[in-house]
Amino acid sequence: MASNDNRFTHLECPDIPTIKQVNANGKRHYETSAGPLVSITTVIHHFTPDGIKQWRENMGEDVANYIMRVSSIRGTHVHKLVDSFLSNESLDNITREYGVTAVGLFNLMRPALERISNIVAVEKRVYSTDSAIMVAGTTDCVADYEGILSIIDFKTSSKMREQDTIDSWMIQATFYALAWECLTGQKISQLVIICATEDGQTEVFKSEPSEYVERLKKLIVDYRADIGSSNSNDSI
């Protein structure tokens, strides 16, 4: 049993249009007032790093796919635990429901989670109508982190990454920051990635959106070029 002694303060979330997640052409999209927009995770995953390609080749497709499925389930369970914690819900019987690994990773994260305050949104779908971006996604959390309004993402991994290997995480969080400002007018000053790993480590990575804006825009340009920029938004 893991009690939730924290009682997080939740602020009123700005009025943001509700968008629906759909699949189109085998890719995750969101139906928005600007039309169907591809998800930021689809854009990022389109460009598989060379290290991942080599890893898949070394492991073999079947083993690599199995490991990825297990990792995805692990991440989903941890996210659900974090969401419940931040929402002040009961954490009774979580080991039976989510398993030892997910609970262990959540407990590693917990001291960092307790630095969160003034929660504005948890698991909120957002999108940007900026012509240079025009993508959508779901941000884990918008709240103060150590007193600064932040986009906060929660990540799990088998081993801890170095600061210079988390660019894709920061680019994703930068999109959420820009989309949030586009929809609400509220400027996000800080990106926070809370990561826990199966080898028992926790790290809080921080940055500013301004450091990754141009890289985000270039990634989107490259993605559109790869799939055909002459098509309409529902295909990108």
Residue 1 lies in a domain: no
**Residue 236 maps to a domain:** no
Residue 156 identity? T
Instruction: In whole angstroms, give the CA distance from residue 85 to residue 79.
Output: 10
| Rounded alpha-carbon distances, angstroms, from residue 224 to 103, 134, 176 | 39, 11, 19
pLDDT score recorded for residue 138: 97
Domain contains 13: no
The pLDDT, as a whole number, for residue 97 is 85
Instruction: State the pLDDT at residue 62.
Output: 62
For the stretch 16-55, pLDDT in tens is 999 999 987 778 899 998 899 999 999 998 886 555 555 5
User: Which DSSP category does 39 fall into?
Assistant: B
Q: Please list the helix, strand and coil fractions of the chain in percent, rounded to the nearest 5, in that order.
A: 45, 25, 30
198 within domain boundaries: yes
CA distance 116 to 8: 8
What CATH number is attached to the domain comprising 58? 3.90.320
Residue 154's DSSP bridge partners are 194
Residue 142, domain member (yes or no): yes
According to the model, what pLDDT value does residue 58 have? 62
Alpha helices of the chain — where are they, by DSSP H? 40-46, 50-59, 61-86, 94-98, 100-113, 167-184, 213-227
Tell me the two tokens of residue 148.
Answer: 């600064």
* Mode of pairing for the β-strands spanning 202-207 and 190-197: antiparallel
Query: Quick one: pLDDT at residue 1?
Result: 40
Backbone angles phi, psi at 81, to 5 degrees: -65, -45
Do the domain assignments include residue 234?
A: no
DSSP code at position 149: E
Map 57-89 to HEC letters.
HHHCHHHHHHHHHHHHHHHHHHHHHHHHHHCCC
Looking at the 3D structure of the chain, how many domains does it have?
A: 1
Q: What does the pLDDT read at residue 165?
A: 76
Whole-number pLDDT of residue 235: 42
Predicted pLDDT of residue 160: 83
Assigned domain for 40 exists: yes
Could you say which residues of the chain have pLDDT below 50? 1, 64, 229-236
- Whether 72 maps to a domain, the answer reads yes
Quote the domain boundaries for residue 143.
20-228
Helices (H), 16-60: 40-46, 50-59
